[in-house]
Amino acid sequence: DAKTTQPPSMDCAEGRAANLPCNHSTISGNEYVYWYRQIHSQGPQYIIHGLKNNETNEMASLIITEDRKSSTLILPHATLRDTAVYYCIVRSFTGGGNKLTFGTGTQLKVEL
């Protein structure tokens, strides 16, 4: 699976959009981009995933660049409860039990 690079930390004002970047320059054609978050010491929570089209669900939007070498997770109206570590993960589905490889993620701090 391709490696990802994320900034170690970001701050965001409550009510504003939080834009979390992720670089995955070695991504291959059959690899998906997944985002998870971990609030405090809880188990990680699935947010969203995509292949090449932009995706939106009730939690967030995922923007993937045309060359697929980077992506941005957007939390449209961040709240204090969105303070968490956000993990960007790239993986394929060619077998191997659908394993996810976690990096160190981005610590997002949402402040008043």
Partner 1 sequence: NAGVTQTPKFRILKIGQSMTLQCAQDMNHNYMYWYRQDPGMGLKLIYYSVGAGITDKGEVPNGYNVSRSTTEDFPLRLELAAPSQTSVYFCASSPSYKPRSSGTFTYGYTFGSGTRLTVV
Please report, as ranges, the residues that interact with partner 1 according to CB under 8 A.
Answer: 32, 34, 36, 41-46, 49-51, 87, 93, 97-105
Is beta strand 70-75 parallel, antiparallel or unpaired with respect to 84-91?
A: unpaired
CA gyration radius, the chain: 13
Q: Which is nearer to partner 1, 12 or 85 (CB)?
A: 85
CB of 46 to partner 1, least distance (A): 3
Q: Which is nearer to partner 1, 41 or 67 (CB)?
A: 41
If phi over 0 gives left and psi between -120 and 50 gives alpha, with beta otherwise, what is residue 60? beta
CB of 108 to partner 1, least distance (A): 15
CB of 103 to partner 1, least distance (A): 5
Q: Which is nearer to partner 1, 24 or 36 (CB)?
A: 36
**Rounded distance, CA 100 to CA 22, Å?**
16
Q: Which is nearer to partner 1, 104 or 112 (CB)?
A: 104
CB of 102 to partner 1, least distance (A): 4
**Rounded distance, CA 81 to CA 18, Å?**
13
Give which of 88, 90, 91, 83 is closest to 105, Cα–Cα: 88
